[in-house]
Chain A
């Protein structure tokens, strides 16, 4: 326990606390000197909280020690090029490590923790929605300076953003863990930057949670002004949390791109890369170039609140709709950031379990790039009812519908991959299949939203909520679980319990489809999104009760998964060989993977997915006296 409290994580949290006090104290002192008010509803004033939060993040990063090598370089001291692991066992994961595999696991654990928090918030407000009228989030309730409906708004908004951050960390975990292994690299291109990208997500998550106790906010995850310009201090913590998490995303994406460009094994030409690498590249291009826009739009509201800069205040010549353009310019492509790696995982795992080549490899690779690029010119379909120039809605309808074409290519290719295979369905494959069906439901419920006139009805209803959850479960949640079950033996040398895995699957999948189809059903009938209460006259009570039960079943399934996950680390069945009989290079060496990956470098000598072609191989290890770690 003592070693836990002296870990980098706890050090960082301690320093974040100190940093927050220092920043807030500084502003408070200046305000006192200027004769301004020094305290407010939540002790410090809003500017004090903002600088405090900012200092908290800086102090966290320096306090953990993740920046110490850079500081040494700046002072002219040379730190060693290769860090050897100083910690063993669980301690590796709460301390600074530069090993991409450790960072991948850190990302995964943090992502799972955030999924649990975001899911808990969902269960709370889902329970309130089980019946019309207010049951426990009533106006008499008072918690963290919020009454029931205000707390509902905060929880609903935070559910959105915490889940988004957990998805970003989830895809980062898969990319970080797997990509260097697939490329045959010893690590990522920039290991220190890699550690930095992970660790900055921790104070970001803390800031998001701080918004809950500092009065909350009621805008939904979109943070539209003018409402966000009037919300309590919690709004600022939300903005800063997202701003900070954005750094993780941008720097992580940069690292992935450079690693793929620079560190591929001999013979691994562009069209011989594993398909997941293509998906990661497509995703990283978006993260690297679009994330700035959400940071910018939130920063502008932050400055409107702090300094009275009326960017979005019509009273000062500002324009609230401008915010929506800036916001969606990231936040639409962002959904492709969330789903492309998951679709890559589906394409990566399918051939292994159907024992056949991936059908149309190049088309699937190019469809990821096409989705990423088209994704940049569709943002205004979120704004068909916003009051923007109404003629512009037509070109955005065309561009949005175009997304269906490369997405269709993926589906058809997957079906052709499965066709005439020799299919087995262990747990990872089950999640891959559910991912395909869920993403299909999301994909099919999308085009009606893209056609302007129909969207006038569908926009901001539960139809959208259902559609979105289908795409995200299909594009992220199911593939992420598939990836965890699939690569778990690689990381631990043991496999997860198959019976519990199947129980997890068969509880979660039906419940999930009931949940999203039910959402779409009442959405079409006029159930608006983001409301704490609905008119009993609309007759939605029984459906909402079913949705709430489904949500609890999903939560139960995730609990079973968590038990299985943590229990199997120590007690799982030993699995040190090529458990899935995969051609991918990481499975050609025993599990778990040693610290600096492959003892011998490998060379790509064939196609990645030539299952069923007798005598073919994807990689061959180079026998050499001089290989790196003998």
Chain B
């Protein structure tokens, strides 16, 4: 009996120390979304359970190792008892109740995380190797930065044009895979003004580690000001440059003459190129436009036919070509 009392006290003390130690260290990043509250709420209870169970096993283990160790010169065997059915039933049923409770709490927490605000602002997100593009259909704005107004739910409708990616902002506590061929949804209500970063959390190839984009949570006024700035008319060359940046073209093409998967754009405009079938062609507006909309129609010799078609508006194509023409 004495052993049980000592171990009981030690278990409670160790559990308390473990819990307060873990929470004092600070386990999670800042809470920057409404959803993170429901997640951290559940996680806190999990840490309590973990601290207790840790103590419940480790304390009697080390206590036994010290108190029941075989001392020098001691012979004989341990105390003979080979089981106790009520005890076994007890430590089967009690954990069963605990895990069902946690599953219930988990369901509740998930419900909170997925709570829908019918007035949520929709943003279209496209993931590609190796960047993100954000479109605001309400405002007709496209950007490589995700700007969000604080305290307003946004729903990200996400798609990938190539492989799997995953949208992960640790401060929001959530990630969601981005899958080619389907639209996945990420609902978040930012609650803390600040600069964060979305990083790809699903292995997507060579530059996976660097696939990130700024996430800027700002006041409603600052957000509106940013939208206004985006809508100001830009000159065609600058706009073309932006379209190229937001479509990830520079993953395969360079502007400095280096050869990647696709031909470099340096000095491309107006150049004579030999095609895969041996014929030659002058790179003019019509050829460039065709190569954007239907890239595999005329492949330059020595390059693989791997570029996906890009569905740009006529004005956008003209702007891109205007930009390409500046790359002498």
Contact = CB atoms under 8 A, between A and B. Distances in A.
A315 B160 CA distance: 12
Interface stretch (B60-68, B242-250, B289-297): B60-68
B8 interface: no
Interface of A: 147, 149-150, 153, 218-220, 222, 224, 226-227, 230, 314-315, 318-321, 354-363, 385-387, 390, 393-394, 397-398, 401-402, 404-405, 408-409, 411-413, 415-416, 418-425, 433, 436-437, 440, 444-445, 447-448, 450-454, 456-457, 459-461, 521, 524-526, 528, 530-535, 607, 609-613
Contacts of A362: 83
A466 B192 CA distance: 30
A612 B50 CA distance: 35
B84 to A, nearest CB: 7
Nearest to A318: B181
B78 to A, nearest CB: 4
B80 A219 contact: no
Given A405-B92, A444-B54, A220 B42 contact: no
Contact of A454 (B43, B177, B203): B43
Contact of A402 (B28, B84, B99, B176): B99
Contact of B91 (A361, A408, A453): A408
A421 B181 contact: no
B206 A528 contact: no
Sorted nearest first, the 5 A-B pairs with minimum C-beta distance are: A314-B181, A526-B170, A451-B106, A356-B78, A612-B77
B65 A404 contact: no
A401 B103 contact: yes
Interface residues of B, number: 82
Given A386-B179, A453-B38, A531 B209 contact: yes
Given A226-B162, A361-B82, A419 B64 contact: yes
22 contacts: A150-B206, A220-B203, A227-B205, A314-B180, A355-B70, A361-B82, A362-B83, A385-B166, A402-B99, A413-B88, A420-B3, A440-B54, A440-B58, A444-B53, A447-B49, A448-B43, A457-B173, A457-B175, A460-B201, A525-B28, A526-B29, A611-B78
Interface of B: 3, 25, 27-29, 38-39, 42-43, 46, 49-50, 53-54, 57-58, 60-61, 64-65, 68-70, 74, 76-84, 87-88, 91-92, 95-96, 99-100, 102-103, 105-107, 109-110, 112-114, 162-164, 166, 168, 170-171, 173-177, 179-182, 184, 197, 199-210, 212
A424 B78 CA distance: 11
Contacts of B209: 149, 528, 531-534
Given A397-B103, A415-B61, A451-B109, A459 B50 contact: no
Given A218-B206, A423-B68, A451-B106, 5 more contacts: A355-B77, A425-B65, A524-B28, A533-B210, A609-B82
B68 A422 contact: yes
Contacts of B197: 535
A390 B186 CA distance: 12
A226 B70 contact: no
Contacts of B182: 314, 321, 387
Contacts of A315: 181
B64 A454 contact: no
A448 B96 contact: no
Given A226-B164, A359-B83, A320 B179 contact: yes
A460 B84 contact: no
Contacts of A218: 203, 205-206, 208
Contacts of A227: 163-164, 203-205
Given A147-B206, A360-B84, A454-B109, A224 B164 contact: yes
Contacts of A535: 197, 212
B74 A422 contact: yes
A454 B68 contact: no
Given A423-B69, A457-B175, A230 B208 contact: no
A367 B102 CA distance: 21
A418 B3 CA distance: 13
Nearest to B160: A226
B110 A453 contact: yes
Contacts of A437: 58, 61
Nearest to A537: B197
A131 B202 CA distance: 22
B187 to A, nearest CB: 11
Contact of A409 (B91, B114, B205): B91
A492 to B, nearest CB: 27
A533 B211 CA distance: 11
A604 B95 CA distance: 36
Given A320-B164, A444-B54, A385 B82 contact: no
B46 A451 contact: yes
A63 to B, nearest CB: 37
Contact of A424 (B53, B70, B81): B70
Nearest to B172: A457
A408 B89 CA distance: 12
Nearest to B54: A444
Contacts of B171: 526
A408 to B, nearest CB: 4
A149 B109 contact: no
Contacts of B107: 394, 397, 452
A458 B58 CA distance: 25
A404 B175 contact: no
A399 B61 CA distance: 29
A430 B184 CA distance: 49
Contacts of B201: 459-461, 528
Given A412-B91, A457-B174, A422 B78 contact: yes
A451 B42 contact: yes
A420 B106 contact: no
A363 B88 contact: yes
Contacts of B28: 457, 524-525
Contacts of B81: 356-357, 359
A360 B83 contact: yes
Contacts of A453: 38-39, 42, 106, 109-110, 112-113
Nearest to A152: B209
A421 B68 contact: yes
A178 to B, nearest CB: 23
Contacts of B74: 422
Q: Which of A356, A420, A526 is most buried by chain B, counting CB atoms within 10 A of its CB?
A: A526
Contacts of B109: 451-454
Contacts of B82: 357-361, 607, 609-610
B283 to A, nearest CB: 27
A362 B82 CA distance: 10
Contacts of A448: 43, 46, 50
A187 to B, nearest CB: 32
Contacts of A401: 99-100, 102-103, 106
B208 A530 contact: yes
Contacts of A612: 77-80
A363 B83 contact: yes
A474 to B, nearest CB: 12
Q: Which of A356, A420, A528, A530 is most buried by chain B, counting CB atoms within 10 A of its CB?
A: A528
A420 B95 contact: no
B163 A226 contact: yes
A412 B93 CA distance: 13
A28 B54 CA distance: 60
A531 B206 CA distance: 9
B95 A408 contact: yes
Contacts of B58: 437, 440
A355 B82 CA distance: 12
Contacts of B49: 447
Nearest to B75: A422
A55 B300 CA distance: 37
